[in-house]
Structure 1
């Protein structure tokens, strides 16, 4: 069953079990009866492909996005937590543009992560040795070799690259190398990265990806690790009957994905340009003094104050996955600017026209910029547009008196 994002009603013949399956997932499609066996369907705000139900009620539902696949994966790579993955395979026609965006993004991030060397950490290792290393495990020594001086049961801290972060990178690299049709350039880089990870054990077949905890120690790995998790969780491509590729089901709410992508991509670009700290989906500010009405901007960028060094809001950005600006968008951004003490705010739309609205506030004025990041553009141009947007946001900074 193939639908298209944004399309109107289309008619389908459904069995009663299939109808019950679709009715159990009302967030995906709207249903309207035409006859006892024929129903009209209209997609809601999800896109993707997923297999629903079981037995006679099985429905393979595909909602094709307006955004081409490479652009969609470019967005997903910045916001994998906005995607719901279904482990049951669905089928999709093999397409050469299915994985390039994700593969290129991962290769670039992994290469940057390993430029300063492979991350090592201390791991407690239990071993049997002819000499003392670390500490003797006396209880094990007595239980296993009572009265025998050697070999010794010891425990020691080993400084090793065989840690969860590197295992995760290696697993993603090996998975991408198995993808048919991968471009030669990323394939060559992946092979080179495999050699860099010498001493890291590959995950056994079917093993769950290792867990890692973000921190200062692995900060330079963070982006690559997020993409590696996405590769392992959502890119299980296997050749089927020679004409299809089995893929994991994947559902995306486009407006949520657009908001998360803009917040993280622009935040990262601002951090590279100006330093400071980007805070995507910042929920630390309130409209009222009692703290009952939280503000929900998609991005607040903090910079240290020149007076006391304390990091304070320096820019606010809010994404809108819609074609036409609405007055309530201006009201919302005005509240953000006034409460955060900023002289300008930035609304980012997925299409439409750009402009500036000046809002009188007290004796001064706020400038509310309308920007457009057009998802119809090729993903490399889309990435360049985000960099240009960050440059504009950084250059427009002013601060209102608190």
Structure 2
């Protein structure tokens, strides 16, 4: 590829590294980081980053993270239909199109829009700042804001999000022709929805009886809109816009593990606090944030701590920096155990007992556990493995899943 495109990729943060190939002029050596998907630079090639995890399993993790309560009850992989595609972008486009089609089967959603106006009576909430500025606090009229039900689909947040996702997918590289044609059809069905303005926050929507049929499509569409069109930032130039979709596997794996463990622990009446913030030092200068801290039902007493790592086990099975981090968590929380959950490993579980922490009669010293999930297994098997991790965290026998 060209020098300009190579430098843009090297400075983007999308890849772990990008450097000219010393043996072949005009060629670059690219090393993937934690992101998977595809991006296209203006005038440059399409860069496709394939996951080591099977694509169908990757979308199971994504679907679970988007709706953990529903997925915990039903672990069937079909909750996110990726068709027969084994590449991230085609599978994503197919999945979104199928979800949008199901959402629109009973027609385009009519709903509520926010109205701000002057009125002789108070309805909804009073806009106090406007009331003082416009009328010096006197009423009537009253400056109010409220949600009004409307047959107009243009301003309905749900329709705007689905339209934006369809349009974004139509611009992605690598969307198969049949899927592209179906997406274009969905775009026509949503043509009355007002388009989103690039760079602005997504419109807010609240789950309700009215939009229940839209919810699976909405969650997946929001994931598309958050993961597409990254900005490449070359060191000396203005941001360079590209079209693409990228999933951060580190965050996806962390979200999946913590959501699944939270559901398992909830069955036992325990509280799972995500990204629980603490300080390592007494001065409160060094902040630590474990992925998940298990607490008693009242949320007061910590019982266990977990960190999820999208990593493969090394030759000796050790990740020293991770173990040091886990020990710090256990020390600050006053626990005898800390747990690390990896995406792959040679053994389902191993532990290390920390020297200098043996407690004599009170039991063993601090133990650092390493758990490994096999993401090539079926979804039900993966969730069963996480239930076993939850057993270790609680020290109790979890009820079997019906």
Q: TM-score, normalised by structure 1?
A: 0.57
**Rg larger in 1 or in 2?**
1
Map of 1:204 onto structure 2: 194
Q: State the distance in 1 between where 2:51 and 2:95 align.
A: 16
Deviation string, structure 1 residues 179-217 (Cα, Å, up to 9, x no partner): 9779xxxxxxxxxxxxxxxxxx973245677433999xx
Change (3 A) 1:271 1:229: farther
Q: Choose from 338, 348, 351 the match for 1:357.
A: 351
Map of 2:22 onto structure 1: 34
* Contact 2:18–2:31 (Cα < 8 Å) also in 1: yes
Deviation string, structure 1 residues 335-362 (Cα, Å, up to 9, x no partner): 3223212233221111111234262443
The answer to whether residue 55 in structure 2 is matched with residue 69 in structure 1 is yes
Q: Choose from 289, 297, 302 the match for 1:296.
A: 289
Give 1:273-312 correspondences, 5 Å limit: 273-282=267-276, 284-304=277-297, 309=298, 311-312=300-301
Give 1:3-402 correspondences, 5 Å limit: 14-25=1-12, 28=15, 29-35=17-23, 37-45=25-33, 46-52=35-41, 54-55=42-43, 58-77=44-63, 97-98=91-92, 124=115, 126=117, 134=122, 160=148, 167-171=156-160, 203-206=193-196, 210-212=202-204, 227-233=220-226, 249-267=244-262, 269-270=263-264, 272-282=266-276, 284-304=277-297, 309=298, 311-324=300-313, 325-326=317-318, 328=320, 329-352=322-345, 353-357=347-351, 359=353, 360-363=357-360, 364-365=363-364, 366-379=366-379, 381-395=381-395
Q: State the distance in 1 between where 2:243 and 2:225 align.
A: 10
Map of 2:129 onto structure 1: none
Q: State the distance in 2 between where 1:388 and 1:101 align.
A: 31
How far apart are residue 50 of structure 1 and its match?
0.6
* Contact 1:124–1:155 (Cα < 8 Å) also in 2: no
* Contact 1:357–1:367 (Cα < 8 Å) also in 2: yes
Change (3 A) 1:362 1:339: farther
Change (3 A) 1:377 1:172: farther
* Secondary structure of 1:259 counterpart: helix
How far apart are residue 134 of structure 1 and its match?
4.8
How far apart are residue 370 of structure 1 and its match?
2.5
Deviation string, structure 1 residues 123-150 (Cα, Å, up to 9, x no partner): 555499xxx7658xxxxxxxxxxxxxxx
Structure 1 gaps of 5+ residues are: 1-13, 81-91, 111-117, 136-152, 183-200, 237-246, 398-402
Q: State the distance in 1 between where 2:312 and 2:160 align.
A: 40
Q: TM-score, normalised by structure 2?
A: 0.57
Q: State the distance in 1 between where 2:396 and 2:95 align.
A: 31
* Secondary structure of 2:296 counterpart: strand
* Secondary structure of 1:258 counterpart: helix
Structure 2 gaps of 5+ residues are: 67-85, 104-108, 124-140, 170-177, 181-190, 230-241, 398-402
How far apart are residue 169 of structure 1 and its match?
4.1
Q: State the distance in 1 between where 2:98 and 2:303 align.
A: 32
Q: State the distance in 1 between where 2:98 and 2:196 align.
A: 25
* Contact 2:6–2:28 (Cα < 8 Å) also in 1: no
What is the alpha-carbon root mean square deviation over aligned residues?
A: 5.1
